Amino acid sequence: MVSAPQPASTSSRLGRRDRPGLDEAVETVLGPGARLREAQRDALDGLETHDTLLVARSGAGKTAVYAIATLLAGRTTVVVSPLLALQRDQVTALRAAGLRAEAVSSALGARRRRTVAEAVRRGDVDVVLLAPEQLAREDVLEDLARAGPGLLVVDEAHCVSEWGHDFRPDYRHLGGARRRIGDPRVLAMTATASPRVREEVVQGLGLCGARVLVHDADRPNIWLGARTVAGEAERDRVVVEAATSTAGAGIVYARTRRQVEDLVHALGAAGASALGYHAGLPADERRRTERAFLSGSADLVVATSAFGMGVDRADVRFVVHAGAPPSLDEYYQEVGRAGRDGAAAVAVLVHDAGDVGRNHYLRAGGTPRDSTLRRVLGALPATGAQHAPTRSEVGARAGTSARTTARVLGLLAAVGAARGDGDAWCRADDRSPTTVLAALHEHHERITALERSRVELVRTYAETTDCRRRVLLELLGEEHPDRCGTCDTCDAGTSRDVADDRVRVGQDVDHADWGRGTVSVVEPGRITVLFPDRGYVALDADVVLDSGLLTPLPGTA
């Protein structure tokens, strides 16, 4: 394995900065007289000695956490951020707070890249932002290792998880990159993460003894509603009605590019000028739309989920979904773009029966071909080999693209057949290719079952007559026993004060056929249980509890 270069000296790493105390660092980043929010303080407490996963809602000030931590440590911080646009916004905010921040990306020219690399090696950069793909580059790893970073921040950490709606294979290789740059402390952050996603983030990043901090994801200022429709024509009519009945800026999320264009036209016909945004548009047009919306010169955008991370406008008054997203994590991330100023906002989901089938199709991704898996596996040397190839060398040997190589190595690592140390890869055991392929197919079947169950959770949310907010938050892993009073079911009077007092959210249960599981949500007459190998399953509460088919286990909630 490649050994890391020695880090720069302490005086070089500090870059001639004096290390401030906590109060001074808070004022530097947040302004005079500012006080830390609860989530920020919790994350900073113990970060010096423990890896941390922080799950805190949008607008909780997560960027300020690592900015303050950087000043307190007096060492370089490396931030893995998935989008160039998001990196640009973060660089601007960090520089405004007085930190020396740089983004490293393929968009930099050769001369600018060399200048930034030299500054990083000298320790003259406080915060380095880059996409996970950059950490597959040996030159980038060397530069970061020489800087001796004290903190590795993984932003949008749900991308680590195969259960995360924005899964990025390169995120799965960050544990090895961490070791390669000197094993700094890790702060992983995301706005929402169900218990399953949290577990995969901790495992995927190799966090040891990690603190998992989950702060209230509720956004009580956002009224939640859902409408069931019959067909596309009624869906578009209801979406236009919802978007035009609420004053102020808003986002309409569509499922397809064609649907974006149809809704832009329909809104225009209704007197509401809207911009369209999807991945099929030219990059310049997408950037113009994004800038227009974020600056306030345009107030309505119809977009696919491509209009996502990095969209941060405080005064968005409504988010309307024209069709159900494939997961509740994704839905709540998108809903969270409304009402960031704390004022009242509205989120409406308009769905029809066909959404579930379409989402099952979208989630039914296949594995790479067996021949591809065998070639990548065959390109890896045995454990303990004198030379472990880099990811690009593995791809060259196997004849696979960079993306396919990253994906296959991630899969092999998931079943314990491959191991990466920084960007050096080898076999993790001596199982035969046939045995490894069998393990990969079994892994794929399990993930497919779990994905199908996640799709069904969206239907549970959309069709509930109980408090919609309670069901949403409990499906996302939070206990929320009280009616919210700010959703359509509470307005209609169908919400219950107590859904069922025989089981509790978070309680372990034992099913006669499926074994042990955990209660995720409790509704009148129905409970949803997460089973490790079957995913989320909705059960008739009276049938399974009265018959003894499901047994609550004491002391586990």
Domain of residue 119, CATH code: 3.40.50.300
- Asked whether residue 178 is assigned to any structural domain, the reply reads yes
Q: Where in the sequence is the domain holding 202, given as residue range(s)? A: 10-214
How far is Cα 65 from Cα 73, in angstroms, rounded to an integer? Answer: 12
User: Each residue of 120-150: pLDDT tens digit?
Assistant: 988 899 999 998 888 878 888 889 998 999 9
- Same-domain check for residues 199 and 234: no
pLDDT for 13 equals 38
- Same-domain check for residues 27 and 160: yes
* 448 CB-side CA count, 13 A: 11
- Same-domain check for residues 167 and 306: no
Domain boundary among 380, 408, 442: 442
Q: Which two tokens stand for residue 124?
A: 């003259």
How far is Cα 517 from Cα 297, in angstroms, rounded to an integer? Answer: 50
pLDDT for 258 equals 93
Domain of residue 407, CATH code: 1.10.10.10
- Which parts of the chain have pLDDT scores under 70? 1-19, 59, 162-167, 169, 309-310, 354-366, 422-423, 498-500, 555-557
- Same-domain check for residues 194 and 268: no
- Same-domain check for residues 285 and 160: no
pLDDT for 206 equals 85
- Asked whether residue 289 is assigned to any structural domain, the reply reads yes
Coil, helix or strand at residue 378: helix
- Asked whether residue 146 is assigned to any structural domain, the reply reads yes
- Same-domain check for residues 268 and 231: yes
Residue partners of 267: CB distance under 8 A and separation at least 6: 240, 243, 244, 252, 273, 274, 300, 302
- Same-domain check for residues 249 and 387: no
Residue partners of 51: CB distance under 8 A and separation at least 6: 185, 186, 187, 188, 205, 207, 208, 209, 210, 211
- Same-domain check for residues 430 and 492: no
Total count of domains within the chain? 4
- Same-domain check for residues 479 and 348: no
* 251 CB-side CA count, 13 A: 32
pLDDT for 363 equals 55
DSSP codes of every residue in 382-404:
PTT-S-PPBHHHHHHHHT--HHH
| Rg of the chain taking only CA atoms, in angstroms | 24
Rounded to a whole number, what is the distance in angstroms from the first to the last CA of the chain? 44
- Asked whether residue 2 is assigned to any structural domain, the reply reads no
Domain boundary among 353, 384, 413: 353
Kindly list the distances between the CA atom of residue 453 and the CA atoms of 91, 259, 328, 360, 543, in Å, as whole numbers in the listed order. 38, 26, 11, 9, 21
- Asked whether residue 448 is assigned to any structural domain, the reply reads no
- Same-domain check for residues 287 and 416: no
- Asked whether residue 449 is assigned to any structural domain, the reply reads no
- Same-domain check for residues 204 and 68: yes
- Asked whether residue 151 is assigned to any structural domain, the reply reads yes
Q: What is the pTM of this model?
A: 0.72
Domain boundary among 383, 412, 442: 442
- Same-domain check for residues 88 and 185: yes
pLDDT for 265 equals 96
How far is Cα 423 from Cα 274, in angstroms, rounded to an integer? Answer: 45
User: Each residue of 70-104: pLDDT tens digit?
Assistant: 999 889 999 998 877 778 888 888 998 889 999 98
- Asked whether residue 428 is assigned to any structural domain, the reply reads yes
Coil, helix or strand at residue 522: strand
